Amino acid sequence: MTIGALQALIFDVDGTLADTESVHLAAFNQAFGEIGMDWVWDEALYTELLMVSGGKERILHYWKQVNPEIRQIDAQGLQDRIGRIHELKTAAYENAVNSGQVSLRPGVLKLMDEALTAGLQLAIATTTSPVNIAALLRHAIGSDWRMNFSAIGDASTAPIKKPHPQVYLQMLDALQLSPNECLAFEDSNNGLRAAMAAALATIVTPNRFTAHHDFSGALKLVPDLSQVNLTQLRQWRMQN
């Protein structure tokens, strides 16, 4: 397949744009406490649960583990309960971000600025909620953060979570570009598999929650984006 000129960069959010997972973990535990549940997730457990994409899906997965009889609960009642937990968790996360507990990973803003200056498009492809995206990028970039992105795919637009490629396919359609004109940026195995399933070459920047994942097939594996620029990205694509 002929590699087209690089036209767009598509970013995952949690773990890729920022080291958010420890803050998400604290927010989950705060929500459990607020709703009167005795659940406490530690880092080791949460690292395992991150293999399940999506906050609500993660809660349901764990609930089925600790309570195999969960299927006997009214389905709508269960979804309402999970929805309330997730609502509290999202509020706790947003408060943490607004208080400065989360910042973008090294090199992220620099690469975005370079891409925009060069006329490339930026997009987001994530399984997180619109509220979480807005909280993070409003704090990191400013109130007009949305203007930097040509397209945004999230949990509200792509209900089928990674490793399914739905959100990436949506972004390619929104950008009106082919996969060989774009690069994806991920931090996890699920994210990499989703991007690859959409035929996207992918740069992976692991974090402590995902360092043990299998990243076979990634275009490049780097600690962060601090030493990455457009010239390197173009070279890596041509060498692949």
pLDDT of residue 71: 64
Q: Pick the catalytic residue: 12, 19, 154, 187? A: 12
12 is catalytic: yes
pLDDT of residue 72: 59
Per-domain residue ranges of the chain: 8-20+103-239, 21-98
Measured from the Cβ of residue 218, the count of other Cβ atoms closer than 10 Å reads 20
Taking residues 219-232, report their average pLDDT: 98
Q: Pick the catalytic residue: 14, 19, 154, 187? A: 14
Question: What HEC string does the chain produce?
Answer: CCCCCCCEEEECCECCCECCHHHHHHHHHHHHHHCCCCCCCCHHHHHHHCCCCCHHHHHHHHHHHHCHHHHHCCHHHHHHHHHHHHHHHHHHHHHHHHCCCCCECCCHHHHHHHHHHCCCEEEEECCCCHHHHHHHHHHHHCCCHHHHCCEEECCCCCCCCCCCCHHHHHHHHHHCCCHHHEEEEECCHHHHHHHHHCCCEEEECCCCCCCCCCCCCCCEECCCCCCCCHHHHHHHHHHC
- Say what percent of the chain tops pLDDT 90: 91
Position 1 confidence tier, pLDDT thresholds 50, 70, 90:
very low
113 is catalytic: no
For the CA atoms of the chain, what is the radius of gyration? 18
Lowest mean pLDDT among 61-70, 77-86, 91-100, 193-202: 61-70
pLDDT tens column, 181-224: 999 999 999 999 999 999 999 999 999 999 999 999 999 999 99
Neighbour-count burial of 214, counting CB atoms closer than 10 A to its CB (0-12 exposed, 13-18 middle, 19+ buried): exposed
pLDDT tens column, 121-148: 999 999 999 999 999 999 999 999 999 9
pTM of the model: 0.92
pLDDT of residue 50: 94
pLDDT of residue 76: 80
Top CATH class of 21-98 equals: mainly alpha
Q: 2 or 169: which carries more pLDDT confidence?
A: 169
CATH architecture of 8-20+103-239: 3-Layer(aba) Sandwich (3.40)
**pLDDT of 40 strictly over 70:** yes
pLDDT of residue 68: 78
Query: What is the chain's mean pLDDT, rounded?
Result: 94
Taking residues 223-232, report their average pLDDT: 97
Q: Answer whether the bond into residue 163 is a cis peptide, omega within 30°.
A: yes
